[in-house]
Amino acid sequence: MANSGTREVNFDGIIGPTHNYAGLSPGNVASASNAGGTSNPKAAALQGLSKMKFLMDLGLTQGVLPPQQRPDIDALRRMGFAGDDAGVLGDARDADPTLLAAVWSASGMWAANAATVSPSPDTADGRVHMTPANLVSNLHRSLEADTTTRALRMIFADADRFAVHDPLPAQMRFADEGAANHIRFAPSHGEPGVELFVYGVTAHDPSMTTRKHPTRQSRAACEAIARLHGLDPTRTVFARQHPDAIDAGVFHNDVIATGNERVFLFHEQAFAMPSSLMTDLAAPIIESGGGGLTIVEAQNSDFSIDDAVKSYLFNSQIVTLPGEGSQGSMCLIAPIEAKENGPVSAFIESMVADTSNPINRAEFLDVRESMRNGGGPACLRLRVPLSGRELDATHRGVILTDDLHARLVAWVEGHYPDRLTAEDLADPGLARRCLDTLDELTRILDLPGLYPFQR
Ligand code: SUG
């Protein structure tokens, strides 16, 4: 059923105080090439908050998701490191610095990987369904699922309107990276849509490996989520990522393709079976009288896949602008790196000028601290289309206002370090200060008891 008054709410991950460059993600070009660098958590968090404010000032509804509890010293204890916190941190550093780095990672900032979301017009029981991602492909990310599940259950607590499932079984057969490999198309956010799930591998076909880099999303995971969410099989499409794209650094599909409502923006090398895919996606929308898809396909002759990975154009957010005068018009919220890349910038200019698609404005934002770890504007947010009633049932403490924005900026300014290196990660004093900082955040967001250390 169509819902009137539905809007897309973007929930951005607040970048945590331990943001650092540890090179933890094989296949993620930026993470690998900035490994060992010095990060600036304060600048990172402020860049994230500026992006959220920018979207709010465009008239969009913006939410926040809290960071993970980091460092996760209990995770090191589960790996056998014992003693007081100083001993655990020091022993982990001496045994294997990548284990230490994993429990400090602020990777929860990339909220596109928090969960897969199906809005209520698409689901059999008319509730909004969410499956938190198990993120089993990388140790540091696998530590996110429990707190993400808890946060989503606190924020979307009304069981009459929301279903927050358990993450899928934590095994590679069900490797799941959330909404980064999922795009929903619909005539408008409140109408029934078509959900596209993109996978890199099927569990039963070992020949489906790439030559260089790991694949992070399995078809089995996509199918399980579609079942859990009660999606209509005639409006659910599974497509394989092109293995060459994964090997070029496209570790998530949102590095090479994106969409909004009826618009589908992608690079010609994104998918393994492009022509049937377009028909499968467009047919249900045409049948429901919603017109077809507007396809914006970048060719190799426009720019290469390497330029796509360097510029992160496809990790832009495409948002529908509110308001009478601009009904149906869309804005591309792109990373500044896309403007700095000649061929990509020329492509954006001609796309915005082309009246056959609704994208008629482009804005370039600075999220460079996140970009150096392979996270662009779209990685930082989880899209949740919500009707007016569903928004009313959502925890208000995480919906951005000018006041909340100002409080979060002051909290970051007051507590965040402006420099973090690998050497800092064995410091128990810094660990304590980070947890105190998070404790204060749960008061600002009114999420008491969110973190394990608070219980
Ligand atoms: O999972 N980087 C993240 C980036 C995630 C981007 N998200 C989306 N494309 N939706 C990842 O690879 C790097 C951490 C480090 O190396 O310190 C990292 O986890």
The number of angstroms, rounded, from the C-alpha of 39 to the middle of its chain's C-alpha atoms is: 20
Residue type, 87: G
Instruction: Check if the beta carbon of residue 375 is closer than 8 Å to that of residue 110.
Output: yes
SS3 178: helix
Judge if the beta carbon of residue 239 lies within 6 A of ligand 1. no
Domain that holds residue 405: 8-70+105-429
The answer for residues whose C-beta is within 8 angstroms of residue 349's C-beta and 6 or more apart is: none
Count the Cβ atoms, other than its own, within 10 Å of residue 261. Answer: 25
Tell me what pLDDT residue 327 has.
57
The model's confidence at residue 276, banded by pLDDT at 50, 70 and 90, is confident
Residue nearest to atom 7 of ligand 1 (CA): 379
Please check whether residue 374 lies inside any domain of the structure.
yes
Distance CA 274, CA 333 (A): 25
Among 109, 116, 183, 379, the mutation site with the greatest number of ligand 1 atoms within 8 A of its Cβ is 379
* Ligand 1 atom closest to 27 (CA): 12
Per-residue pLDDT reduced to its tens digit, 214-257: 889 999 999 999 999 999 999 999 999 999 999 999 999 999 99
The model's confidence at residue 213, banded by pLDDT at 50, 70 and 90, is confident
Per-residue pLDDT reduced to its tens digit, 70-111: 999 999 999 999 999 999 999 999 999 999 999 999 999 999
Give the single-character DSSP code of 98. H
Count the Cβ atoms, other than its own, within 10 Å of residue 84. Answer: 10
Residue 82 CB-density burial (10 A; 0-12 exposed, 13-18 middle, 19+ buried): exposed
* Ligand 1 atom closest to 20 (CA): 17
Distance CA 330, CA 26 (A): 34
Please check whether residue 443 lies inside any domain of the structure.
no
Instruction: Check if the beta carbon of residue 195 is closer than 8 Å to that of residue 226.
Output: yes
User: Active-site residue numbers?
Assistant: 177, 252, 379
Tell me what pLDDT residue 324 has.
55
> Is the N-terminal amide bond of 71 cis, ω within 30° of 0?
yes
Tell me what pLDDT residue 356 has.
95
Judge if the beta carbon of residue 113 lies within 6 A of ligand 1. yes
**Percent of the residues in the chain that have a pLDDT greater than 90, as a whole number:** 90
The model's confidence at residue 264, banded by pLDDT at 50, 70 and 90, is very high
Angle at 2 between CA 183 and CA 289, to 5 degrees: 80
Ligand 1 centre to CA of 292 (Å) is: 34
Residue 17 has pLDDT above 80, yes or no: yes
Distances (CA, A) of 421 to 100, 220, 279: 12, 38, 49
| Mean pLDDT value of segment 280-289 | 83
Among 65, 371, 373, the mutation site with the greatest number of ligand 1 atoms within 8 A of its Cβ is 373
Tell me what pLDDT residue 206 has.
57
Judge if the beta carbon of residue 370 lies within 6 A of ligand 1. no
* Ligand 1 atom closest to 107 (CA): 19
Residue 37 has pLDDT above 90, yes or no: yes
φ/ψ bin of 36: left (φ > 0), alpha (ψ from -120 to 50), beta (otherwise) = left
Residue 325 has pLDDT above 60, yes or no: no
Instruction: Check if the beta carbon of residue 227 is closer than 8 Å to that of residue 237.
Output: no
Instruction: Check if the beta carbon of residue 19 is closer than 8 Å to that of residue 368.
Output: no
| Mean pLDDT value of segment 416-426 | 98
SS3 130: strand
| Mean pLDDT value of segment 423-433 | 98
Per-residue pLDDT reduced to its tens digit, 328-342: 799 999 999 999 999
Ligand 1 centre to CA of 325 (Å) is: 38
Tell me what pLDDT residue 204 has.
59
Give the CATH number, domain containing residue 124. 3.75.10.20
Please check whether residue 449 lies inside any domain of the structure.
no
Highest mean pLDDT among 206-210, 297-301, 320-324: 297-301
Residue 295 has pLDDT above 60, yes or no: yes
When divided into structural domains, the chain yields a total of 1
Nearest CA among 243, 16, 24, 19 for reference residue 138: 24
Per-residue pLDDT reduced to its tens digit, 132-177: 999 999 999 999 999 999 999 999 999 999 999 999 999 999 999 9
* Ligand 1 atom closest to 24 (CA): 16
* Ligand 1 atom closest to 31 (CA): 16
Ligand 1 centre to CA of 405 (Å) is: 25
Half-sphere CA count of 359, side-chain side, radius 13 A = 28
Instruction: Check if the beta carbon of residue 321 is closer than 8 Å to that of residue 7.
Output: no
Among 25, 177, 253, the mutation site with the greatest number of ligand 1 atoms within 8 A of its Cβ is 25
Ligand 1 centre to CA of 86 (Å) is: 27
Q: What is the pTM of this model?
A: 0.97
Both tokens assigned to 150: 């808890």
When comparing pLDDT for 215 and 377, which is higher?
377
Please check whether residue 95 lies inside any domain of the structure.
no
Judge if the beta carbon of residue 23 lies within 6 A of ligand 1. yes
Judge if the beta carbon of residue 252 lies within 6 A of ligand 1. yes
Please check whether residue 298 lies inside any domain of the structure.
yes
Please check whether residue 455 lies inside any domain of the structure.
no
Distances (CA, A) of 105 to 17, 100, 152, 398: 10, 9, 20, 22
Please check whether residue 292 lies inside any domain of the structure.
yes
Tell me what pLDDT residue 275 has.
79
Mean pLDDT of the chain: 95
| Mean pLDDT value of segment 358-386 | 98
Please check whether residue 88 lies inside any domain of the structure.
no
Tell me what pLDDT residue 201 has.
87
Token pair 């005068």 is found at 325
Ligand 1 centre to CA of 336 (Å) is: 18
